Amino acid sequence: MNTPLFRPFAALVCALCLPLSAGAQQSPQSASAPPPAEEPGFTWALGLAASNGADYAGSDKRGSNLRPVIGLDIGRYTISSGGGGSLLDFDLEPRYTGVSARLLDADRLKLSAGLRIGGARTSDADSQLYGLPDVRKTLRARLSASWLFSPELSLRSSLNQDLLGRKGGTTLQTTLQYEWQITPSTEIGLAAGFTVADSTHLRSFFGVPADVALVRTPYAAYAPGGGVKSTDLGIEIKSAITDRWVLFGGVRFSQLRGDARSSPIVQKPNDYGVTVGLAYRCCR
Task: Give residue-wise pLDDT tens across range 185-241.
Answer: 999 999 999 999 999 999 999 999 999 999 999 999 999 999 999 999 999 999 999
Residue 123 pLDDT level (bands cut at 50, 70, 90): confident
**How many percent of the chain have pLDDT more than 70?**
83
pLDDT for the residue 38: 46
Least confident of 86-90, 102-106, 225-229: 86-90
Above 80 in pLDDT, residue 9? no
Above 90 in pLDDT, residue 153? yes
Above 60 in pLDDT, residue 84? yes
List the chain domain ranges. Answer: 40-282
Above 50 in pLDDT, residue 1? no
115-144: average pLDDT: 91
Collect all residues with Cβ–Cβ distance below 8 Å to 281 and sequence separation of at least 6.
Answer: 43, 44, 45, 71, 87, 88, 240, 244, 245, 246
> Is the CB of residue 100 less than 8 Å from the CB of residue 80?
yes
pLDDT for the residue 126: 74
pLDDT for the residue 95: 76
Residue 120 pLDDT level (bands cut at 50, 70, 90): confident
pTM: 0.83
Distances (CA, A) of 88 to 94, 184, 252: 11, 15, 21
54-78 per-position pLDDT tens digit: 999 999 999 999 999 999 999 899 9
42-62: average pLDDT: 95
142-150: average pLDDT: 97
Above 90 in pLDDT, residue 253? yes
Collect all residues with Cβ–Cβ distance below 8 Å to 273 and sequence separation of at least 6.
Answer: 51, 52, 53, 54, 251, 252, 254
pLDDT for the residue 269: 98
pLDDT for the residue 237: 95
For domain 40-282, give the fold.
Answer: Porin (2.40.160)
pLDDT for the residue 115: 98
**How many percent of the chain have pLDDT more than 90?**
74
pLDDT for the residue 250: 96
Distance in angstroms (rounded) separating the CA atoms of residues 60 and 150: 39
Above 60 in pLDDT, residue 37? no
pLDDT for the residue 204: 97
Which DSSP string do the residues of 155-201 spell out, in sequence order?
A: EEEEEEEESS-SS--EEEEEEEEEEEEEETTEEEEEEEEEEEE-HHH
